[in-house]
Structure 1
Amino acid sequence: MKRICVIGAGCSGITTLKNLLQAGLTEIVCYEQNDQIGGNWVYSAEESHSSVCETTHIISSKTMSQFVDFPMPAEYPDYPSHDQLLKYFLAYAEHFGLYPYIRFNTKVQKAEKIAGEKWLITLGDGQQETFDYLLVANGHHNVPRHPEHWPAQFAGRYLHSHSYKMAEPFKDQRVLVVGAGNSGCDCAVEISRVASFVAISTRGPQYIVPKFFMGKPTDTFNGQMLWVPKPIAAFLRQLSLRIQVGKYSDYGLPDPDFPVLKAHPTVNSELLYKIRHGKVHPRKGLVKVEGRKVFFTDGVEEEYDTIIAATGYKISTPFFAPDFINYEEADRVPLYLRMFHPEHPSLIFIGLFQPQGAVWPYSDLQAKLAANYIAGRWVLPKNLAELAEKDAEHVSREFLKAKRHSIEVHAHEFERDLKRQIPRDAPVWALETSNSVY
């Protein structure tokens, strides 16, 4: 009987467990370092592994974010809150009987490959166990990436957006948010409700996409353009944004000179509103910091009480030796289908990608393929190394060069590629049609 280790019981970890059980595999142990499932979606008012804050709602719509065999309740809004999402994941784990396979409060200290393509797992308490397969689903939004130089030079309060939990502590302060991604825009909008002055600094152009278009969640329109030729689809996306938003320069922000899907978009309906109402002030890139004074590239100098760096996250696999696998500073991650390592056929990553939408529906597909591979219904391609390199090159071509894009994927294209590989005889469970709030 094949013995399988899963690291992490977040959204990708629980769907990994579900798919392993669905494929008839039961010798499974899932290690979770926290005391409950949910990973990043377990909100805490104190600093923790989670990056969600008090007011976080998902940026992909309900219909584009639910598991295919476990729909969200009909009563859920188009963009559920973090607590609604956690309830959804808890119900998923209960429905599919996942809890007996999870060991909570158990940290994986070390994962080492040993003879026979097996894995020696060392736990936080020193215990060791051996497995035939290792599935890594530990997420990639828990280790902040800090700016290299200026934080130490700032005399005020400095924090990463990962540590931001609520707006109240910033009441009546002058606050600068560095970075206009999803976290940065959320921080700027929420803090502007209580602070005396809020600015947002961005080095380069960024598409800021409203959450609704023609009364429907914006992400649902991408699915309607799958069969439209790419150049026409790109033109229509840009046209729709011009109609909704106008020029970003009208808001004091740089105008993007690249297609909408060339970079990870920021989905936010309030930032532009706040800018035009004088509640959030756009600033150019940050040059240097002296005490509480911040210098920007256009010559503007201002003093701030707090700086929040919304500068992204590192890919962290602390249980691997640095000379074994280390993607922390990688510009490219050569994995076939963003999951299969070319040199380690018994190692599979689940959820190590960044779609322009929710992660877990595509983690579900990855996990289904992984489970059927372990069960013997699917065979790894012989040219695995070539395919892994091809996937990494595809990412490099499709997206702007940046560490935040090293694992980016086009959601619908990625879904198609995964579904093509899932064997036709893959076991399925009946669709769960829950229509009430959990």
Structure 2
Amino acid sequence: MAIDNDVVAALKDRVLGPEHKSLPPAAWGKTVREFLAGAPHLDDLQTPVLTLDRSAMDSNLAVMADWARSAGVRLAPHGKTTMSPQLWGEQLTAGAWGITLATGWQAQVGRSFGLNRIMLANALTDPIGLRWAAAESAAHPEFELFSWVDGVDTVKEMERHLESANVRLKVIVELGGPHGRTGARTVTEALEVAEAVHNSSRLTLAGIGGYEGALAHDRSADGLAAVRRYLTEIAWLHRSIAEAGWYGDRAIVTAGGSAYPDLVVDHLAGLADEEGAQGIPTTVVLRSGAYLIHDDGFYSGISPLAAGRTDHPLRSAMHGWARSVSRPETELALLDAGKRDFPFDEGLPVPQRMAGPAVQPIPEGATVTALNDQHTFLRLPGGSAADVPVGSVVRLGLSHPCTAFDKWRLIPVIDDSDAERPRIVDFLPTFF
């Protein structure tokens, strides 16, 4: 069992209350299941509100599962993007190999919902987290946890806290790059880390990996070249460790965020079938986290699976809905959403359309120019006082799902964000 479906299903029995943004007071005291039984629509909620599109998520699940399968790689989607056990379950049902998380606490949340294979894409040096990992692994041998190491000092710190443990934790040696994030800065340093893990009595060398998205931020020639060089080094590092005999009976090679999974496949997918690496069975794992939600900003501009780059593109599944609360100038509307509601770190929201069937369209050239804590500045060049009147609702395209979900404890799921009156079909609790 990849996840405990009964525990996930029980989330619908949670009681709604004032801590859940956008819900009307009439919903307080009801369970999620009871509120949904009333067949609510989006306009039954207050603004601002973030929504997820069920039809788009279903499409994205199928697109990515088919793409990974045809490429010969496995998926361990980065669960920190959503911190939604319901969505983790859907990804696993669609064929995901496991779920990736970023901190010891996140791994504990995942395990509380029955996740039995977690890639912890970070170093685990917190003593409480290490003791938990050792105890959980000892009590449940079927549970697989892979954490990362990028220095000999990290290996020593883990050994210090695991001195009394009676299990060996599985670790992935992380290769980084100049001006990147974590990760050994050179292949030589990564080999030293791998050797230290091989000689450890508390750790087992399970594979190698890294994150190419820290080395580039676009699809320029220079950016793509930097990613390709890095992935070539990962492949060389894997072969070197295999030839040294430092792996156990299998190996994992993991890379791939949501920006360059195509390059990861080009450079690493062949390792899964390679006979020259001392016959070590190798699983190549992508950790793409944003594909399920996609966006109307950063990922729509860089993903190889975005519209215009493939016959079966990903679709943006998240939108913001905000109400006009002030028209102090002819060419300015203030909406009731802000930084506390919608992501803004990888691009400001984009006005897409007015909600409802009988409202005038947004003028051409309308642009969001700023977000305050609780206001959106919608500029309307050449607009009139009749555009975006007070009380009207604007649908906004958003960028970067990784910083959208953490602003909402409960996210409504609608059937179709293009419908005249979208229907609410589910709610997703998040755990941040």
Give me the TM-score of the superposition, normalised by structure 1: 0.27
* Structure with greater contact order relative to length (CA < 8 Å, sep ≥ 6): 1
Larger radius of gyration: 2
Give me the TM-score of the superposition, normalised by structure 2: 0.27
